[in-house]
Amino acid sequence: MTLLRSFWLWLVAFAVVLAIAVAVNPSAPSNSTRIAHLESLVKCPACEDLSVAESNATSAIAVRHEITQDVGSGMSDNKILTTIEAQYGPQILLSPSTSGLGALLWVVPIAALVVLIAALLRLARRRRA
């Protein structure tokens, strides 16, 4: 068997495994996954950097109940987070909101990536010449 053929064989097997993984998949974003996700984004009010999902402080349990209620009453993720932020202050969110200065946290990594890739391409082109 040539190398190329063995590669295609492997690729086909890979595709099969991938297909099974994707097709036989029960995940629709259920309420409990949403709740768990939201809980990981909100800081426990009495702690340094634990999320309400991880802490058992009374204030953390209170916030967890609030999130569960809000999800049950149909509020969107964004609305829930902004409501909690309004109540406890911006430091309650473990990842700052992307509006305003918080955008810097995402702009800088992406910009750095672009700059680095550009520098590498220039380097590669110069060496080849």
> Which residues of this protein are in contact with other proteins, per CB under 8 A?
3-4, 6-7, 10, 13-14, 17, 20-21, 25-27, 40-41, 43, 48-51, 53-56, 89-96, 100-102, 104-105, 108-109, 112-113, 116, 120, 123-124, 126-127
Name which of 62 and 74 has its Cβ closer to other proteins: 62
Smallest distance, other proteins to C-beta of residue 113, A: 7
What letter does residue 73 receive in the DSSP assignment? Answer: T
Nearer to other proteins, 74 or 100 (CB): 100
Residues 80 and 39: their CA atoms lie apart, in Å, by 11
Nearer to other proteins, 23 or 74 (CB): 23
Cβ at position 41, least distance to other proteins in Å = 5
| DSSP label at residue 44 | -
Nearest to 106 by CA among 34, 114, 41: 114
Each residue of 85-103: b (16+ CB within 10 Å) or e?
A: beeeeeebbeebeeeeeee
Cβ 73 to other proteins, closest distance in Å?
24
Nearest to 40 by CA among 57, 65, 64, 62: 64
Q: Specify the residue, 31 or 107, whose C-beta has the smaller distance to other proteins.
A: 107
